[in-house]
Structure 1
Amino acid sequence: MSAQLTLFAETAPAPKKRARRTHPSVPAVPATTIPTALLRAADWILLNSSGGKDSQSMASHVCRLAAKLGLLHRVVIVHADLGDVEWGGTRTLAEEQARRLGVRFEVVKAEGGDLLARTVARFFKLKAKAEEEARDEGRDPATAKVAPAWPSSTARWCTSDLKRGPIRKLMTRLVAELGDLGRPVRILNCMGQRAAESAPRAKLAAVEIDRPASNGKRHVTTWRPIHGWTDAEVWKEIARSGLPYHEAYDWGMSRLSCSFCVLGCEADVVLAARLRPRKAAQYVAVEKKVGADFKNGLSVRTIIERAKALDAEYGELRRPPRGTALSGYVGKKATRTYLDRLERGRLDLAA
């Protein structure tokens, strides 16, 4: 971690962005929104997996549909490896889910450091820009106000840098694998985003053309197969599929991916601090480096204080029984059945 921060202590000016033009062959709207038609039309069915409950239920749901159509050979599960900022075992879990589903698994990872290192790098870029603007305006550079370096709901550069960019490189490889088809390769990019997660996600379309990811060689359609699902439906799909889910949910986390997510609720990040105190300390170090709180109005220092207060009042956390999160939605009997199937490694896509 310290080596990454040192690496980004001095950074070159950010390159100028070029205006992007969409290839004229890229359609403006999807040709269909019917699930079976979307699957049949796709040359590749790409399932984005964070290892979390939504992406795994999306994956098992789509794989069941693809299996009925005889299209599992077109399915690829991709996991964007975020490094140590994500929960331990996440990459291994995503790979195991793909193995049990019987589909191809790919891992992508951004070059140039993890989220913490990139936050520091972003700070120095923003600082240099603010100081340059101050000098141009005849002001003291030392008083220049630096924009927040941490990602936020309005600046989700973590998603574009650590997930979207590397996954688009995989799309380029998948297109090359098929060779010249005499037409653009059709990629159905499946996401586990749900309307119930947040107001912004509720506004997302279930099916849409991803124009920035499309070009003259590939046409990318984004499909959110479980966009309208509730939490209960997600957990019922997990119970039905028999796929293993991450133990962080049994501990009480409501979401996965980054263990300390800037978009996560306070309860989640406090719980993460109780479970990962060393990682929390690294976030504090970055807060000091960039001179800004991890979340607007909520520092990791405060999060750690609240975590320590809970430990002092209730004692350190004890490992919960496997299946704790699932049983709250499907009951103890169905959970026992699920755990038995999980132990024996059974998976029936036609179930």
Structure 2
Amino acid sequence: MPPITNVALTGDVVALVNADAPVAIGVSGGKDSQAAALATFQHLDIVGHAGERILIHADLGSVEWNDSFRICEELAGHLKCGLVVVRRKAGGLMERWESRWLSSMTRYETLSTVTLVPCWSTPDMRFCTSEQKTHVIIAELKRRFRGKQVLNVTGVRREESRNRSRMSVADADATGRIMNWRPIIDLTVDEVFALIDASGLHPHPAYRVFGMSRVSCRFCIMSALGDLIAATGQSESHDLYRNMVALEIASGFAFQGARWLGDVAPHLLTSKGRDGLAMAKEKARRRSEIEKRITRRMLYVKGWPTRMLTNNEADILARARSEVTELYGFQSRHLTPDSVRERYAELLAQKQQKASQP
């Protein structure tokens, strides 16, 4: 393979490489992490890096493609390095979405939030990445390389999105121990595939066999419709598909905002499932209409509640809660204006007590 001349570097990265700092490369089975590992190892070999190198894979559970771990294993074998697998102790991503819905119901029933909270991660709230990948990987690196500075490599590329186009080549975390390095940040998608092909390895079959443009979870919150359709074409994804649609039905929240996953491949659902999806859409419509009556000043914000509701606001919230509770069959408390105001008084008193503690 010819030398990689466009690996992105900074002075801080060069200094850590020259000091033989440990290098950990996050791999998912997707093309970008595969290419990042190949490019990074080649660069480290060229400059004579003698520090420890590992690949690290965050297992997301049932949402993962069957081939993803195999791709990571083949990559580790090719590079002759260790492959470390980490997992969130509380379960995979599907379990996280399900537990988030249970939490949303409980918080609503106890008036610990104003409106129901969606169970799914979103492009603006990607806890699927932060909780399932970043946090567990960084925790493992700090444990494994205790007391050392570590180069944490990711396959982020500027071409992927507007947000990523503004990302830097490298940046340190708050502790200064982890230097996040994005060595292929300026590579194009064609260069990524060329790098993989030149290595003699193969990219994940989802690209060239399944017909997908990106590989992460089988069904990703960032996926275009074409990728969702391609994913449903694979039999290995059918059980997950039905489980995710079941959560859409239970929660009344579509997987991608306005796009219901259940609409992508309704033929994979039973007649009961299709009927349930239709009911969920109506539930979502009615919930949206009910919650429109709640004024902006009444909505949940950080530090909520920040004030006592007026009598009129308490009446609005009590009526909305009663209707949503009936719609979902919840066991909610605080469904009258007086009870709503009593709950707010209780929460405000708890805040004041907490603030007064040393």
Following superposition of structure 1 onto structure 2, how do residues 251-266 of structure 1 map, counting pairs within 5 Å? 251-266=210-225
Query: Scaled by the length of structure 1, what TM-score is found?
Result: 0.69
Aligned to 1:187: 150
2:223 and 2:259 map into 1 onto residues whose CA distance is 12
Aligned to 1:327: none
1:168 aligns with 2:138: yes
Aligned to 2:26: 48
Q: CA RMSD in A?
A: 2.2
Q: Deviations over 1:190-239 (max 9, x none)?
A: 1101111111111111111122xx36xxx111111111111111111112
Structure 1 residue 71 displacement after superposition: 2.4
Aligned to 1:300: 261
Structure 1 residue 160 displacement after superposition: 1.6
| Residues 123, 70 of structure 1: alpha-carbon distance in 2 compared, 3 angstrom cutoff | same
1:76 and 1:289 map into 2 onto residues whose CA distance is 41
The total of aligned residue pairs comes to 258
Structure 1 residue 35 displacement after superposition: 5.5
Aligned to 1:210: 173
Following superposition of structure 1 onto structure 2, how do residues 71-150 of structure 1 map, counting pairs within 5 Å? 71=49, 73-133=51-111, 145-150=115-120
| Residues 134, 63 of structure 1: alpha-carbon distance in 2 compared, 3 angstrom cutoff | closer
Task: Give every structure 1 segment of 4 or more consecutive aligned residues whose post-TM-superposition deviation is greater than 4 Å.
Answer: none
Note the residue ranges of structure 1 that are not aligned, 5 or more in a row.
1-30, 136-143, 177-183, 309-351
Structure 1 residue 306 displacement after superposition: 8.6
Aligned to 1:180: none
1:116 and 1:239 map into 2 onto residues whose CA distance is 33
Following superposition of structure 1 onto structure 2, how do residues 319-330 of structure 1 map, counting pairs within 5 Å? none
Match for residue 197 of structure 1 among 160, 170, 175: 160
Determine if contact 1:120/1:290 at 8 Å carries over to the other structure: no
Identity between Structure 1 and Structure 2 (%): 30
2:81 and 2:151 map into 1 onto residues whose CA distance is 15
Q: Deviations over 1:74-107 (max 9, x none)?
A: 2111011112211112112201101111122111
Structure 1 residue 110 displacement after superposition: 1.1
1:248 aligns with 2:206: yes
1:35 and 1:239 map into 2 onto residues whose CA distance is 27
Query: Scaled by the length of structure 2, what TM-score is found?
Result: 0.67
2:77 and 2:54 map into 1 onto residues whose CA distance is 11
2:112 and 2:217 map into 1 onto residues whose CA distance is 35
SS class of match (2:66): coil
Structure 1 residue 279 displacement after superposition: 2.0
Higher RCO (C-alpha under 8 Å, 6+ residues apart): 1
Determine if contact 1:81/1:109 at 8 Å carries over to the other structure: yes
